[in-house]
A = this chain, B = another copy of it.
Amino acid sequence: MMLPFAASLEFVHTYSLIHDDLPAMDDDDYRRGRLTNHKVYGDGMAILAGDALLTMAFELCCHHADHNGVTANQQLHIVRELSYGSGHQGMVGGQVMDIQAENREVELAHLQKIHSHKTGQLIRASVRIGGIIGGASSIQLESLTGYAEDIGLAFQIADDVLNMVGTREELGKDAGTDEQRGKKTYPSFFGIDGARQLGKECVERAVKRLESFDHQADPLRHIATYIIERRS
């Protein structure tokens, strides 16, 4: 039942990585241990690959009525969540703020705002879409949204720490790039141990948000813990 909607989110995620890696954006040569899309196929093809994936993501959400128990209205709701999370109010908006912040002094509050858009909103959309398909009540959706926001922040903190302490072999991409670029990160504000502690607190808060859910929410609890324990 979840499959086409999970694929949609994966497509949006992949499109965003392909476009982010472009020379006009982050200019990254490696991703997941392999050359990035534009290094292999050229910039034009990479832009088009991203465009095609983004478009397909929406197509995959829109079936005929009552697709495997997901009603037409739920499908429309899913498209709205997906576009909100990935578009100018979400991921793309965060990317814009990120470009605008280049070579400027960034305060912590602004850094958090950038991240909550750049990575947080798509995680939020993913969790909420799962809730919508599962028929969550509005109170449950509220809890899930809080959970998603907390793990989104934890994810970004962990990412910053990994960029600092990970190796290229572990990460599948170049390590230490944030520091080279003079990019403000959580470790640059709190030190590595401080950032790790902050990440841990986010995960604890996230898990607490799921208190009213039974064992069916265990995968979400595992994901929260995995986020700060992962090595890549």
Residues of A within 8 A of B (CB): 15, 19, 22, 24-25, 42-48, 50-52, 54-56, 58-59, 61-65, 71-73, 75-77, 79-80, 82-84, 86-88, 92-93, 95-96, 99
Contact = CB atoms under 8 A, between A and B. Distances in A.
Given A48-B95, A63-B76, A99-B44, A88 B24 contact: no
Contacts of A54: 51, 54-55
Contacts of A51: 15, 19, 50-51, 54, 87, 92
Given A47-B24, A63-B76, A72-B65, A56 B87 contact: yes
A50 to B, nearest CB: 8
A58 B79 contact: yes
Given A52-B88, A83-B55, A72 B62 contact: no
In the A-B complex, list the 3 residue pairs whose CB atoms are closest, starting with the nearest. Answer: A55-B87, A24-B43, A59-B83
A95 B51 CA distance: 11
A84 to B, nearest CB: 7
A100 to B, nearest CB: 9
Contacts of A64: 73, 76
A213 B128 CA distance: 45
Contacts of A65: 72-73, 76
Contact of A83 (B48, B58, B82): B58
Contacts of A82: 58
A78 to B, nearest CB: 9
Contacts of A73: 64-65, 72
A87 B59 CA distance: 9
10 contacts: A15-B51, A51-B54, A51-B92, A52-B93, A55-B88, A58-B79, A59-B80, A65-B73, A75-B76, A79-B79
